[in-house]
Structure 1
Amino acid sequence: MPKFLHTADWQMGRAFSRFETEDGAALVEARFESIERIARLANEHRCDAILVAGDVFDAQTVADRTIRRVFNATKEFTGPWVMLPGNHDAALAESVWTRAKRLGAVPGNVHLALEPGTVNLEPQGLAILCAPLTQRNTYIDLTESLNTWETAEGLVRVGLAHGSVQGLLPDEIDSANPISPNRAETARLDYLALGDWHGTRQIDERTWYSGTPEPERFRNNDAGYALIVNVPGRGEPPDITAVETARYQWHQWREILAVESDLDQLLERLQALPEPSVVDLRLEGSVTLAGEEKLINALSVAEARFRSIRCDRSGLQLEPTDDDIAALKADGYVGEVIEDLRARQQDDNAEAARDALAILAGLLKDRKQEVSE
């Protein structure tokens, strides 16, 4: 009854340059931690092996230090690992994998599937049929050869591949590195472990994408898991359990604020998020001056609490109420300027007008406070 852990798309060496330096470094570190977490999970679930279905590395040019750290992070699980090259780290004649070998960084229990063929793990009862990418993109189904490969009687047949299952995934990725949707059936596989799609996804009862163990983009596709695969016996359907591996949750919200309750509900949802969150907000609609102040204060609190939060307010107009203007004592010429800036939020200089209105409101509020003191 073999049991193994299926993971993929680690993308080690990936940079997060769009984030602040401190946040980007933390996101990079979380990816190394995810490998260590995978090793611990394999031990906890008493797995016989760990299979990595491609894109261990984000590029062929990652630093030597990154290569060494990746393999160092595997040490807690002493059973066999099988690592498959994907499109980001294809098994070229000279590749990140050949560098890893030259560095002496690959532990003895890590099998690198750099050529098509079978990795026999007889003590574990597993035959791993590997279809590595030897170039970044191919337009033939490399898994077709699995149909003809024979394995020792009694060993569970597990396919390991990286690419796009044809006809089932979104059109934009249904092109290079194709994989037949019925490959598990035609190759008589007990399980087909796939990489390339970064979210956990079932294709059929024997074919799964594990997804990336640590999310790295704002896409709601069930990233942040590994799969524990338990095969009762040759020819029997596998039992699949998704286990959480992610340190950070990524949230991308696009919100339209029309009434005061919209803002209140948004801030309640924001408050409910856990601290290890990466948040990207884009706000449109309108907000009062009081609402703007409430929003700014909430974002300031969130910046200190979350790993990262970004908020695009360029589409959010400031709409001071009569009470807002009365509270600012913005009569006469100043009142006319406020009205002009409110109107200018409708033209091509909307963002500049909004910022100017916010600054003016802030100055008036500060002046009012000084007078009262």
Structure 2
Amino acid sequence: MRLLHTSDWHIGRTFHGQDLLGDQEFVLSALADLAAENEVDVVVIAGDLYDRAIPSAEAVQVATRALDRLRRTGATIVASSGNHDSAPRLGAFSAFLAAGGLHLRTSVGEVGEPIMLADRAGPVAVYALPYLEPELARIPLGVPGRPGHQAVMAAAMDLVRADLATRSAGTRSVVAAHAFVVGGTAGGSERSIAVGGVESVTADVFDGIDYVALGHLHGAQKIGERMRYSGSPLPYAFSEAGHHKGAWLIDLADDGAVTDRWLELPVVRPLSLVTGSMQELLDGYPDLTGHYLSVVLTDAVRPVEPMRRLRERFPHALTVSWEPPARVVDAATDHEVAGLTDEDVLAEFLLQCRGSSASPSEQTLLDRSLAADRLLEAAA
């Protein structure tokens, strides 16, 4: 059986104020093309279809079109809710949708109920576990006390293995889970799931499963031989600028053996981090005009209206910060300050704080302020 493992779509997410719905629709359409080209049997989406519990109408429309494109490839779709999704909203009409080949798992009470599929070699049980918030999952899973993620995931997997034991001999198994598994590396744009205890779970909690499709971490990676994160289809932080986004193509052999192939998705708009003075940026870097940019300016004096000026040349510049070159200035001692005029103290202060003296217009303002202050003192 051939699976396409994806996760963390985060439809509706913005990136430093930039709307990404167009980017997301483009890349999810490309995902459907990969499913069609590779004759995928099952698409597994391991949580976080949406970026927020109450997605906008536009986000829902993008998700609907993406799922429709995937279903039109002939693949069965199995999706579970993540920590960003509202499980009740995502799971609405799930019984009706299953009849059309879209299987949604959003309820803790369903963790031991697989979606049963089959190929020429026999049955495959797919267990799609929704994100398990410990405080909410502990009662339906029968976990006492105030458990953490490890305890509730272990309880859920006990139910999975108990159900699997009732299936016919040779039944292969797939688990989709949204969790931070020990050994994984965060990409930088994930939301913490630490509420309710230690946020991570150990890999051995998934023992006995042929393939584990993980979601939550946004960088693609392997955790052992039978466990992988697909990562997000788009980068959602500048720390992910070097990531290669895509999905795992998983072939599940007749005996449960796993072979994989990484399928890259197209880059909608590259992410770049660039450092330099305002003039250096405005005069150079012609290859970055189409990139999402994070800019660090190194001018000795803070440029005026930096974002407006940058966007005239780089329309997709998203963040700008100012880090002037380090300047070593010896701080004046109390004795030295006592011998300085007010004008000298202000000049020393500016030099230490920003590494430059006042501009002519700034000096005019300072002179006026000092003169007004002296008049007030004289009147008192």
Q: What range describes the TM-score normalised by the shorter chain of this pair?
A: 0.5 to 0.7
SS across alignment from 1:35:
helix
Aligned Cα RMSD in Å? 4.2
- When residues 212 and 280 of structure 1 are mapped into structure 2, their CA distance, relative to the original with a 3 A threshold, is same
- Displacement of 1:149 in angstroms is 3.2
Does the alignment pair 1:182 with 2:204?
A: yes
Residue 191, structure 1, aligned to residue 211, structure 2: yes
In the alignment, does 2:82 pair up with 1:86?
A: yes
The answer for the alignment partner of 2:124 in structure 1 is: 126
Paired residue for 2:103? 111
Q: Distance in 1 between matches of 2:31 and 2:63?
A: 12
State the TM-score, normalized to the length of structure 1: 0.68
In the other structure, the counterpart of 1:330 is none
Query: Residue 66 and residue 232 in structure 1: after superposition, are their counterparts in 2 closer, same or farther (change >3 A)?
Result: same
Report the equivalent of 2:36: 43
Question: Would the aligned equivalents of 1:191 and 1:238 in 2 still touch at CA under 8 Å?
Answer: no
User: Which amino acid letter does the alignment assign opposite residue 113 of structure 1?
Assistant: R
Q: Deviations over 1:272-305 (max 9, x none)?
A: 4483x21101233759xxxx9xx9999466414x
Q: Aligned AA for 2:34?
A: L
**CA distances 1:7-61 after superposition (whole Å, capped 9, x unpaired):** 1111122244x43xxxx23x22211222222111100111111100001112221
State how 1:19-30 maps to structure 2 within 5 Å: 19=17, 24-25=18-19, 27-30=20-23
- Cα offsets for 1:71-117 (capped at 9, x unmatched): 222222332111111111153xxx22245669x88882210012212
1:188-246 C-alpha deviation (Å, 9 max, x unpaired): 22211000001111111211110010112222372622211122332323223242244
Q: How does 1:240-319 map to 2 (within 5 A)?
A: 240-253=261-274, 255=275, 270-273=285-288, 275=290, 277-284=291-298, 286=300, 299=310, 302-304=313-315, 307-313=316-322, 315-316=323-324
Q: 2:90 aligns with which of 90, 97, 121?
A: 97
C-alpha separation in 2, matches of 1:296 and 1:88: 31
Distance in 2, matches of 1:86 and 1:12, equals: 12
Query: Which amino acid in 2 is paired with 1:166?
Result: V
Give the SS at the match of 2:236.
coil
Counterparts of 1:42 and 1:317 in 2: how far apart (Å)? 50
- Do 1:155 and 1:234's aligned partners in 2 also have CA atoms closer than 8 Å? no
Q: 1:349 to 1:193 in 2, by over 3 A?
A: same
Could you say if the C-alpha distance between residues 52 and 132 of structure 1 is closer, same or farther in structure 2, counting changes exceeding 3 Å?
same
CA positional deviation for 1:164: 0.7
Are the counterparts in 2 of residues 32 and 69 from structure 1 also a CA contact under 8 Å? Answer: yes
Distance 1:310 1:355 in 2: 30
Q: TM-score under structure 2 normalisation? A: 0.67
* Alpha-carbon distance in 2 for matches of 1:181, 1:354: 61
The Cα of 1:349 is off from its aligned counterpart by 5.8
For residue 58 of structure 1, the aligned residue among 45, 48, 51 is 51
Contact 1:229–1:238 under 8 Å retained in 2: yes
Alignment partner, residue 6 of structure 1: 5
Post-superposition offset of 1:136: 7.8
Whichever residue aligns with residue 162 of structure 1, its letter is: H
1:128/1:349 CA distance change after superposition, 3 Å? same
User: What secondary structure, in the 3-state scheme, does the structure 1 residue paired with 2:203 have?
Assistant: coil
Calculate percent identity across the aligned residue pairs. 21
Structure 2 contact 193–199 (Cα < 8 Å) conserved: no
Residue 201 (structure 1) aligns with: 221
Higher Cα radius of gyration: 2
State the alpha-carbon separation in 1 of the partners of residues 175 and 5 from structure 2: 11
Letter in 1 for 2:3: F
Say whether the 8 Å CA contact 1:226–1:243 is kept in structure 2. yes
For residues 355 and 65 of structure 2, what CA distance do their matches in structure 1 show? Answer: 52
What secondary structure, in the 3-state scheme, does the structure 2 residue paired with 1:348 have? helix
2:237 to 193, 217, 221: 217
> What is the number of residues matched between the two proteins?
310
For 1:111, the aligned partner's letter is H
